[in-house]
A = this chain, B = another copy of it.
Amino acid sequence: MMVLQELQRDPASREAAGEALALMASMYPICRSITGDGVRRTLDLVEQVVPLERTEVPTGTPAFDWEIPPEWNVRDAYIADASGRRVVDFRAHNLHLVSYSAPVDRIMSLDELQPHLHSLPDRPDWIPYRTSYYRENWGFCLRHADREALGPGPYRVVVDSTLAPGHLTLAEIVVQGSTDGEALVYTHDCHPSLANDNLTGIAVAAALARALRQEQPRLTWRFVFGPGTIGSLAWLSRNEHRLPRLRAGLTIGLLGDAGPLRYKCSRRGDTVTDRIAAHVIGGEPFSGMLTPFEPYGYDERQFCSPGFDLPVGRITRSPNGTYPEYHTSADDLALIRPEKLAESIRAVARTISLLDANRRVLNLSGKGEPRLGKRGLYGSVGGAGPGEFEHALLWVLSLADGGHDLLAMSQRSGMSFELLDRAATALEEAKLVRTLDEPSRGTDAVSRA
């Protein structure tokens, strides 16, 4: 019943990490933002790995309290000195331009320019990453060392960009499941030349989706690529009808740095996603960190907003603000550790696999034990105790009351999830139990009890 078995192990996970790194290298130079052609070119590269369904959402389309902003594209941007030398040049590094900068072409003194400049005094050699999506503005980010060296001017400041009606691009890979339940993996794709945040998330999602398409999961899995905040809001506003069937979900990203794996709980904190992820990420061999929900972070913010309150948690290594290179030019391909990326692939694959396999079964003959012996499921000579598989059969029968899923059975019995999965499958084949499949709210209400 379990899916993504191969990617949970070496050498498959190392191979997948190698391919992910190659994809990341091709995506790295592109200037992405929350809209624009950079996103589309990125998705073209993903599509070389796995086919995508794309949706273009027009500027001005409402998404709850928000609306799709104008589409942003840049041809060129620079600050040039009196001699025409570009002292800050978007073509050298796309982080130099504040994302969503409006067009400008002016001659300015350094003093006039300063309010539009961003640098990191503590990290004078790194270019910071800044955005101004929702208030029209423009700005440049630069190495603090370079900023200190700027003369009084005058400078010519050019942002050759367009901010115009267009579209926001969403992309999705749907792997059809055998039941009505659905699950979600969301990764943000709006960051420009930043590697850990979040080319790793894009590349890992693509690798897992490609593998899962070869299998038959129980749940229908949707892997969604979209910009942060406005992307998840747009997806939610177009998919509200699906949410009652959503049994589990993850946002993923920042999966290649040297930090430990980290699972951030959903707002409810006890959803099936939380319970499975705590079991996988917090357990052997990953021994990752488990952190409670907080309302700052990535797109889990939107999925977990109280009007949705979905069972969506987050898997990362070092998230926002917890590593020095975060949101700077130092978050580049050299920061990525291939063996950590491979471990992330194993961890997310196993989380998806258990989320997919986890289910509640109902004992169809709950008054007394059924005679396992006459169904070939139990040894015929008594007096000595039962073997491990027979024990697992007894546990599943005992807890198959509709209130325990396989994970709860594993935690109560001390037996492995996989053994109980096999026992439940054998009992279902013997028509002694049947799998219950219900929408996520019902399921969680029961599994919390």
A294, B374: Cα distance in complex, Å? 23
The answer to whether A320 and B385 have CB atoms under 8 Å apart is yes
Instruction: Please classify the interface of chain A as helix (H, G, I), strand (E, B), loop, or mixed, using the class held by over half of its residues.
Output: loop
Task: Find chain B residues with CB under 8 A from A267 CB.
Answer: 398
CB-defined contacts of A413 to chain B, threshold 8 Å: 294
**Contact (Cβ within 8 A) B135 A371:** no
Interface residues of A in 360-415 (CB under 8 A from B): 363, 365-371, 373-374, 380-386, 391, 394-395, 397-401, 412-413
Which of the residues B382, B385, B399 comes within 8 Å of A321, measured between beta carbons?
B385
58-72 of chain A: CB within 8 A of chain B: 63-66
Which has the most chain B C-beta neighbours within 10 Å: A308, A327, A381?
Answer: A381
Check B132–A382 contact: CB distance below 8 A: yes
On chain B, the residues within 8 Å of A302 by CB distance are 368-369
> 11 new A-B pairs (CB below 8 Å) besides A128-B384, A232-B368?
A98-B381, A130-B382, A131-B382, A132-B381, A132-B382, A134-B371, A292-B412, A296-B385, A301-B369, A302-B368, A307-B368
Q: List 17 A-B contacts (CB under 8 A).
A: A63-B368, A65-B365, A65-B368, A66-B368, A98-B381, A128-B384, A130-B381, A132-B380, A133-B382, A134-B371, A134-B380, A236-B368, A295-B394, A301-B394, A302-B368, A305-B369, A305-B397
A residues with a Cβ closer than 8 A to B are 63-66, 98, 118, 128-135, 137, 139, 229, 232-233, 236, 267, 292-296, 301-302, 304-309, 320-321, 327, 363, 365-371, 373-374, 380-386, 391, 394-395, 397-401, 412-413
